[in-house]
Structure 1
Amino acid sequence: MNATMLPTPTSPDAAWPRVGAIVLAAGAGRRMGHRPKCLLQLNGRSLIDRQLEAVVQAGLASVLVVLGHHAERIQQEATLLQWGARWVVNPDPDAGHVSSLHTGLQALPPDLDAVMVLLADQPMIDVSAIQALIHAYAARPQGTHMVQPSVQNLPGNPVVLSSTVVSQILAGGIQMGARQWQQLHPEKTYRWKTPDARYRLDVDNAQDLQTLKTLTGHSLLWPSDLIR
């Protein structure tokens, strides 16, 4: 499938960055009854399928899914291969998001200018949300190396990390993640202000499912084999 290319930058001297993508999907889903949240379905399609489609159509250069808990069940989602995504398994997913981030960053090709880190349980992140974030990264203030959406002064996801940040995270050991890097380098973080609430919506528990329905009118359903 041909990716939708990003439009040409307005500045003649600018160039669009080569951005890769990591989708974090290694969690146990304990607050969802130990079920993989990324397999919740919106309009009959899993969240992981919808997100991978959006990433590919946004024109990102490389797509990697980090699995852990429920890896075998998620791999049964044949559409992972349809979108050309690769996957890697975090051998210790209970170590948390930082260990999954390291697992993903280590598996990406070295020629990327930046990496977008996505959470697999954000149901409303689509191609327009991803492209808007890439635009924000391309237009970020000079000297900044990380872009994070800021919705009503609250942090959102996904985030974009420059290759400099990627190198420093990997060199910082297993305790160094995107949040820790941001805390050490607040002046190098661009908090991109946006009114778009999609960057703040994720589904960690049953209450989040109800909140999503209230705010958007959309209901998420489990596939038949995960209904309890």
Structure 2
Amino acid sequence: MNDAWKVATPGEAPTFSAVVLAAGLSSRMQGQHKLLLPLDGQPAVRRTVGALAGAGPAQIVVVTGYKGRAVMEALDGLPVSFQSNPRYEEGQMSSVAAGVAALTAPCGVVMVCLGDQVLLDATDYRELIDAFAAMPRGSILVPFFNGQRGNPVAFSASYAAEVVSGHVNPGCRKLIAEHPDDVFIHEAAHDRFTIDMDTPEDYARILERLASRERC
């Protein structure tokens, strides 16, 4: 852990770092690794991380586990560091804790990102950081669209130690109920924060959506 965490100041554009969760088993993808599936000629995880890098984070830590070497090769040349999670089979929270513990660059906000949210672009990530800076209360931001909870979740770096220790789980569905005074819900105007890629059907829908963009 770095001792130089900077607490985000309300109203200012905070410096943020990102943890990308890329350690999972892809157990619902029928034998394929979802993060390595091709999208527009590149692996899905490279599309995700490339968009995130465009939003200007101070640091990106990619947490690897299942097929970690292949994930690292897919991200070759991008401005990221890697953190292996030998406990990845224990679930997402172990990867969140490993990734946050590996952050070294001073920042005011930490964003926990999913490696399979391939429809997000740099402006979407910036939208969340701008919303965090402008939120009237709270220190954890969760995007929603039409009542559906989305990702990434952003939280003040002051929570880092609690996240690493497991006392705060930014990926937990009960987060809002457990921390009602700390959580601010960001109502998005689009569905991209709520779309990830867990199944072959999800992959097919995303391919069609990307193809539809190209036809427009």
Same fold (TM over 0.5): yes
2:77 to 48, 67, 82: 82
Q: What is the match of residue 24 of structure 1?
A: 21
Q: Which amino acid aligns with 2:143?
A: P
Q: Following the alignment from structure 1 to structure 2, what is the Cα–Cα distance between the partners of residues 70 and 58?
A: 27
- Most deviating of 164-173 and 105-114: 164-173
How far residue 217 of structure 1 moved from its aligned partner, in angstroms, is: 4.7
Counterpart in the other structure of 1:121: 116
Q: Which consecutive residues of structure 2, in runs of 5 or more, have no partner in the other structure?
A: 1-9
Question: Given residue 82 of structure 2, which amino acid in structure 1 is its aligned partner?
Answer: W
User: For residues 54-203 of structure 1, what are the structure 2 equivalents within 5 Å?
Assistant: 54-77=51-74, 80-109=75-104, 111-142=106-137, 144-172=138-166, 176-178=168-170, 179=172, 181-203=175-197
Give CA-to-partner distance per residue, 1:187-213, whole Å, 9 cap, x none. 211110012111111110112123334
The aligned counterpart of 2:7 is none
Q: Conserved in 1, the CA contact under 8 Å of 2:58 and 2:105? A: no
* Unaligned stretches of 5+ residues in structure 1: 1-12, 220-228
Letter in 2 for 1:87: F
Q: Match of 2:126, SS?
A: helix
Deviation at 1:110, TM superposition (A): 6.1
State the Cα distance separating 1:138 from its structure 2 match.
1.0
Q: Give the letter for the 1:52 counterpart.
A: V
Identical-residue share of aligned pairs (%): 29
Inter-partner Cα distance in structure 1 for 2:13 and 2:123? 16
1:41 pairs with 34, 38, 43, which one?
A: 38
SS of 1:88's equivalent in the other structure is strand
Q: Which residue of 2 aligns with 1:10?
A: none
The code of the aligned residue for 2:162 comes to Q
3-state SS in 1 of match to 2:130: helix
Q: Check whether the contact 2:143–2:193 (CA below 8 A) recurs between aligned residues.
A: yes
8 Å CA contact 1:169–1:181 kept in 2: the answer is no
Q: 1:154 to 1:45 in 2, by over 3 A?
A: same
Report the secondary structure of 2:181's partner residue: helix
Q: What is the Cα-based RMSD across aligned positions, in Å? A: 1.9
By relative contact order (CA 8 Å, sep 6+), the higher-ranking structure is: 2
Task: Provide Cα deviations, 1:74-118, integer angstroms capped at 9, x if missing partner.
Answer: 1222xx242211111101111010000001011001622111111
> Which amino acid counterpart does residue 107 of structure 1 have in structure 2?
A
Structure 1 consecutive aligned stretches of length 4 or more whose deviation exceeds 4 Å: none
Contact kept in structure 1, 2:97 and 2:165, CA below 8 Å: no
Q: CA offset at residue 67 of structure 1?
A: 0.4
Report the 3-state secondary structure (helix = DSSP H, G, I; strand = E; otherwise coil) of the residue aligned with 1:31.
Answer: coil
Deviations 1:104-141 (A, max 9, x none): 01100162211111101111011111111111111112
